[in-house]
Amino acid sequence: MAYISSLCHISTEAHFSRVAVRACRVEGRSNEFPVGPVERCTSTSASRRNLDARFFECKRSRRLLMECPSAPQTPAFAIFSLWQEEPYGLPRKPEQNTGTVYLVGAGPGDPGLFTLKGKLLLEIADVVFYDYLVSPEILRMANPSATLISVGKKKDHHSVTQPEILEMLISKAANHKVIVRLKGGDPFVFGRGGEEMEALLSAGVKVEVVPGVTSGIAAPAYAGIPVTHRSYSSSVTFVTGHEMIDKNRTAVNWPAIAQGSETVVVYMGVHNLSHVINSLRDGGLGDDTPVALVRWGTWKMQEELVSTLKDVVDEATERKFAAPAIAIIGNVVKLHSTLSTCRPTWTDFSSNQSPSLCTVDTLAESLPLLQ
């Protein structure tokens, strides 16, 4: 019981697995684990998942965990809850004929912005369908035995069409338990997540969405631009600059956006930048309105272009500023020159070095501009 009670103090997956080993040995199941230091049994993610599953399969361990008053607030209980719903390491007999497709948001690129739930699902996935903008560092988190399938799309070049992607998802769900559809950013923010979920449900496939950090917030942040600020903007609009090609007319009410929002964030807007800018100018935005373009937001090769509505198209053309890029339009862009000195840094899991931070002197210089 002491080992079960210690679950209430667990803060990491490795710590949980070490407790699991000790608990199972106490339960008289020591033959399932090699003799020696506990750490040797929990050195890899795969071995930890294997140990966790065996621990949960012990009925007495599960009962004691459920009876622990503070268990529902612990990371261990969250792992236990997921284990109850999906296979967690060890194969179990499927309860239905189809698996579950998880629409997982991979975030904008920096692997440090990937969610814990998304990482956990990648580690137990049987099949992973991934998009063009998913970083290699995130793909390396996937189950080594999983099948990885690229279904990325670029402008005018779709390696796999949308109907083909849906057909493959349905087919894999019939023969596998956990299918991860890994999408850049957030699946429900211009990521076709809603459309894919509708199609999968119509085909009788179980589906669940796992939100991700959207580039419309993260890319500006990594450029030192908050999308809202009490002194500059109390509203923000997210809009696509790349609508369906078969639409007879635009569905975006640009004049209403120009008049009704203090910050406008345009996804996939570089290809049609001239149309977007002219539409906003026609809608009433002044030529001196600040504009920022952020290319490869949150990636190591992030680039920025800061200009105005009047000049941004010419400057983007001159610099050959290409996709993937986000456009931020509004007075919050004025903060770029100050806050970009304190921008987040790329998360390098291969290095133990701490990220560089803005200095006290930099903050002192910034304060007068923010008052």
The pLDDT, as a whole number, for residue 70 is 58
Strand order in the sheet with 127-130: 147-150, 127-130, 178-183, 100-105, 206-210
Q: Which one is catalytic: 52, 183, 197, 268?
A: 268
Q: What is the DSSP letter of 203?
A: T
Rounded to 5, what percent of the chain is helix, strand, coil? 45, 15, 40
The mean pLDDT values, 10 residues at a time, for the chain of 371 residues are 44 49 47 43 48 52 58 54 46 58 97 96 97 94 96 70 94 96 97 95 95 97 96 96 63 92 94 93 96 96 96 96 95 95 82 46 44 39
pLDDT of residue 295: 96
pLDDT computed for residue 152 by the predictor = 82
Q: Given 131, 172, 177, 183, which residue is catalytic?
A: 131
Q: Is 206 a catalytic residue?
A: no
Give yes or no: 131 in active site: yes
Give residue-wise pLDDT tens across range 290-308.
Answer: 999 999 999 999 999 999 9
To the query of whether residue 155 is one of the catalytic residues in this protein, the response is no
| Residue 144 DSSP symbol | T
Residue tagged active-site, from 117, 119, 153, 334: 153
pTM of the complete model beyond 0.85: no
Q: How far apart are CA 210 and CA 195, in angstroms?
A: 15
Say what the pLDDT of residue 286 is: 96
Q: Which residue has the tokens 């920025």?
A: 304
Residues 6+ apart with CB under 8 A from 134: 106, 182, 183, 184
